[in-house]
Amino acid sequence: MDRNTVIGFSLIFLILAGYYWYTAPTPEELARMQDMRDSVALVEKRVQDSIAQISSSEASSTEKIVQDSSVNAPSKSQELASFEKGKDSIIELKNSHLTLRFNTQGGRLNSVKLNQHNGLALKRSDKSDLELLVDGKNDMSWSWSDQLGQELNSKDFFWEIHEQTDSVIAFRLTVKDNQYLEQRYVLSESKPYVVDYNVNVVGFSDYVRRGNSDFRFDWAATLQKQERDMKWEEQHTAIVYKLPEESPTSLQTIDQAEELLKSPVKWIAFKQQYFTALIGSDADISSDAKLTMKMKSDQADSFDIKPLSARIFMEYKGEQSRNGNFHFYFGPNHYKTLENTNIGFANAELERIVPLGWGIFGWVNRGIVIPVFSALDGIIGSTGIIIMLLTIIIKTLFLPLVYKSYISTAKMRILKPEIDAIKEKHGNDLQKTQQENMALYKKAGVSPLSGCVPMLLQLPILFAMFQFFPVAFELRQKSFLWAADLSQYDGPSLGFSIPFYGDHVSFFTLLMTFSTLIYTHLNNQISGVSGQMKYIGYFMPIIFLGVLNDYASGLTWYYFVSNMITFGQQFVIRKTVDDQKLHAQIAAARKKPAKKSKFQERMELAMKASQEKSKNQRRK
């Protein structure tokens, strides 16, 4: 370091030292600053003491208010505490259709059995009664807030049995005379599968918080597997609900869903493939209902399908007497049974729980298929024979269309050599080919669409059946030939899985596939189709072999019978229709002057305009 640098740093140090010495406070200024700090500390202490005193005073006042209110308003610890201890007892209520089991703890419904229906074989016991709601998998309770804001739950208390007969069980929480909560369940032989459920709140306004007084009903249930194939059980398990002036809506589009309903709801149903548990009320379910459907957990029982839950509210405004009139339905998803079930109000539309398809497909099922099936069911004992007769009736109704389609196909076969000649003549000029084909059809009196339209008119029936059979309760556990249950696939397990096909064989599906392939072969002979179109027809039956292998055997039995009837119809038609007469008809039609409709004139003008446009483009 040189001398100039040392001198520079020394001057900087002296300047800084002089600055700090000049600006340092004097002893008098230090004394004044200490006095100021002491004064600020004293003020802060006084403020803290004042705040603590005010808080203590408010707490004392609040405690006094609470103590005063507790003297006048009974709380859980006083009047209801005596119901917290007790012994839970199981009470059974039964009629010819239902067996209900209740628990005095909560006065709640534990389980529901359907006495006239069988569950899955060897499911849980040797009994064949079907358990729709299982103890431990079903939870129902009411909640409300007392005047201190403490939430109470009906399951916290042991309810007294106030009334018990062969058809009635009533549970009560009686605080004082004419002050009680009551849950009343009523079974009636005149209303199969229906349980009338009344919740009566009498003289209870002093025991319910004002301003937040609605009673909340929570229902959670994990529905149990009842059928052979869990795949279909999971697919058809859903929450269905009905809002006023609307058709029922299904919450089942995804495996896990939640729905908040801002308007009052008429009923909420926990639906599985063939059975339903439902609660409904005409006017006693308020808005803000909450519906939840969750995915099945990995730790779930192998018989568990999906956890479903619903939360509804019953409005309470502190009335001296508030009667909530609810109704349960525990029964089959049988269309006619649901349609005739009375749950206390009109236009409930319970039958809409059964998914019969949208639009025309649902109309066909409700207006034709179900009435005919029900009529036959009252006469014939075999469901397989009923399906066969239903198929015969449907195919007979469509026989005129089948005949017309056959005649049109036969005429097209006769004209095929001329159509091939026109195609060869014009090569790749599609416009000229089509124009001459139209002229040929017009002269011969043949419409190329007349063979397709009759078949298209039969599609609504085809798809309606596709929708009906997998949900038709009439097929459940009904045997026919080798099929033990027409609502399930009919063949044995393979012990291994084949891609696209599955791990079992459905014999009715095989019969349907083979008969469809034969029908396709015969139809190709009649129509004279060739080329790639000849083989496309064989592709679809193979696809259906894999698709329908899991479906109800009643459906594939229907398709097989339909194919066999079609063979019979075509055999008779071929024997009665003379191709020489068709030739003569075509020749006679060619001699007649062709009458053009306005539509044909427009089509010809459009084709000519298109042809002229193409010529002009080629010239350019």
Return the closest-CA partner of residue 568 out of 408, 388, 448: 388
Strands (E), 484-554: 493-498, 502-504
Tokens for 345?
């109000």
Residue 54 within a domain: no
Sheet holding 215-224, edge to edge: 151-153, 138-145, 215-224, 304-314, 289-293, 257-261
Return the closest-CA partner of residue 172 out of 157, 182, 164, 163: 182
Residue 272 Ramachandran class (φ > 0 left, ψ -120 to 50 alpha, else beta): beta
What's the CA gap between 355 and 92, in Å, rounded?
A: 33
Residue 71 within a domain: no
Burial class (CB in 10 A: 0-12, 13-18, 19+), 323: middle
Ranges of the chain with pLDDT below 50:
1-9, 13, 16, 19-20, 22, 39-40, 42-43, 47, 54-55, 57-77, 122-127
Residue 173 within a domain: yes
What's the CA gap between 389 and 448, in Å, rounded?
A: 33
Q: Which amino acid is at 508?
A: F
Return the closest-CA partner of residue 328 out of 346, 347, 311, 342: 342
Residue 207 within a domain: yes
Give me the pLDDT at residue 40, please.
44
Tokens for 172?
């009560």
**Roughly what angle, to the nearest 10 degrees, separates helices 399-426 and 507-527?**
50
User: Phi, psi at residue 480, to the nearest 5°?
Assistant: -160, 130
Contact 513, 545 (CB under 8 A): yes
Residue 533 within a domain: no
Number of domains in the chain: 1
Q: How far is CA 124 from CA 120, 127, 392, in A?
A: 9, 8, 42
What's the CA gap between 374 and 183, in Å, rounded?
A: 38
Q: How far is CA 225 from CA 92, 99, 327, in A?
A: 24, 19, 25
Domain CATH number, residue 105: 2.70.98.90
Nearest 5°: the CA angle 539, 562, 373 is: 135
Residue with tokens 């301003």: 211
Residue 255 within a domain: yes
Residue 303 within a domain: yes
What's the CA gap between 190 and 95, in Å, rounded?
A: 11
User: Phi, psi at residue 342, to the nearest 5°?
Assistant: -105, 115
* DSSP code per residue over 428-495: T-HHHHHHHHHHHHHHHT--TTTTTHHHHHTHHHHHHHHHHGGG-GGGTT--BTTBS-TTS--S-EEE
Give me the pLDDT at residue 531, please.
61
Burial class (CB in 10 A: 0-12, 13-18, 19+), 462: middle
Give me the pLDDT at residue 60, please.
45
CB proximity list for 582: less than 8 A, separation 6 or greater: 407, 410, 411, 414
Helix (H) or strand (E) holding 399: helix 399-426
Bridge partners of 105? 158
For the segment 559-590, what is each residue's pLDDT rounded down to a tens digit? 999 989 988 887 887 777 666 666 666 666 65
Give me the pLDDT at residue 178, please.
86
Return the closest-CA partner of residue 356 out of 378, 373, 340, 341: 373
Give me the pLDDT at residue 598, please.
56
* Containing structural domain, residue 216: 79-355
Q: Give the three-class secondary structure for 308.
A: strand
Residue 20 within a domain: no
Tokens for 498?
């084949």
Tokens for 333?
């998803």
CA atoms within 13 A on the CB side of 145: 12
